[in-house]
Amino acid sequence: MNISDSLKLFNFFFNRYSDDTRLNKNGQIRFYNFWDTQLPHEMWFTRFIQHHKLNSNYSAKINFYSVLGPAETLKYRRKGLNIFFSGENMHDERFDEYRLACEKKPFDLSIGFDGDNFGSNIRFPLWILYLFEPESTYEDIKVKVGRLSKKSADNRVRFCSLVASHDWNGIRTEIMDSLQSIDIVSSGGKFRQNTNELYTTYNDNKHEFLKQFKFNICPENSNAEGYITEKIFQSIEAGCIPVYWGANNRPEPEILNQDAIFCWNQGKDNTNLLNVINDLTMDENKYIDFASQQRFLPHAAEVIWSYFETLEQKMRYLTTQ
């Protein structure tokens, strides 16, 4: 090992130790390359583990890794259980280095949106962390799904919203420009912002901002079968009709009513879709009829609960070996 490699390794372990001290001091459950807005005891996975007492007979560390930091972090393993989680599309070229690190040295458990790569892997998409508390029971999920499935369509006086920070693949620009031919699209985020009320009126509360609008543009950052983030669920939770792109235009087909979602075909002729949206905008009764559809399928709660059960069973197995 030459001097340059030695310095690189020293800097890596020094930074890793610094992160450990800052975010993970004295904790059994530790997080690396995760969100830095939460402390370890506040994390969704910590609460899930503690609620199910998955660490009650497990004395070693439980280390979680993600992609919100250097890919180099994924190349090293700590003592104890090592778990990888990402809500991102790991097949996207932006995450090549992270994916290769996972494939070269698989984790004890890998959690993501697809559930068929990186060795020991289960499907647990990011949107679950946004929509449900980690302590949720089946009844909790059933009640919330029922409440979200049929939202009031009344008193929606504004046309369409968009909240985004970027548009690296051009899909948001394409949809926004097309819908602007019908009426004003209010963009409250950093990308093409034309209103600041998300921050000045709603204190950066996306849910309260979206509640004013009939439609919401909510595409993914990239397209892959099964890759669905929180965006479409935030749209539904706010009572908007989603204008969606991603997941090969089949967002959670076992959970969501596809007839209650408008899917945009990137780079293709969307004239028919635009005509339907225009008709709903011009005719309040048609809009209410469409917006009043059940958003979730009848067995949605069972499917969602199965994700909770699978995660618990897999982690219980790993912590009792």
Give me the DSSP letters along 210-269.
HTTEEEEE---SS--TT---SHHHHHHHTTPEEEE--GGG--STTTB-GGGSEE--TTS-
Cβ 177 vs Cβ 204: under 8 Å: no
pLDDT at residue 19, as a whole number: 52
Handedness of CA 269, 273, 276, 282 (dihedral sign): negative
pLDDT at residue 166, as a whole number: 94
Q: 70, exposed or middle or buried, with CB in 10 Å at 0-12, 13-18, 19+?
A: middle
Q: Hey, what domains does the chain have and what are their CATH numbers?
A: 3-138+304-318 (no CATH), 151-293 (3.40.50.11660)
pLDDT at residue 153, as a whole number: 72
Q: What is the dihedral of CA 192, 198, 199, 202, to 10 degrees?
A: 180
- pTM recorded for the entire structure: 0.90
Over its length of 321 residues, how does the chain's per-residue pLDDT go in tens digits? 455 554 454 444 444 444 544 456 678 999 999 988 888 999 999 999 999 999 998 999 999 999 999 999 999 899 999 999 999 999 999 999 999 999 898 899 999 998 764 446 899 999 999 999 999 999 999 999 999 998 777 778 899 999 999 998 999 999 999 999 999 999 999 999 999 999 999 999 999 999 999 999 999 999 999 999 999 999 999 999 999 999 999 999 999 999 999 999 999 999 999 999 999 999 999 999 999 999 999 999 999 999 999 999 999 999 997
Q: Cβ atoms within 10 A of the Cβ of 128, count?
A: 20
pLDDT at residue 7, as a whole number: 47
pLDDT at residue 294, as a whole number: 95
Cα of 32 vs its chain's centroid, Å: 18
The alpha-carbon radius of gyration of the chain (Å, integer) is 22
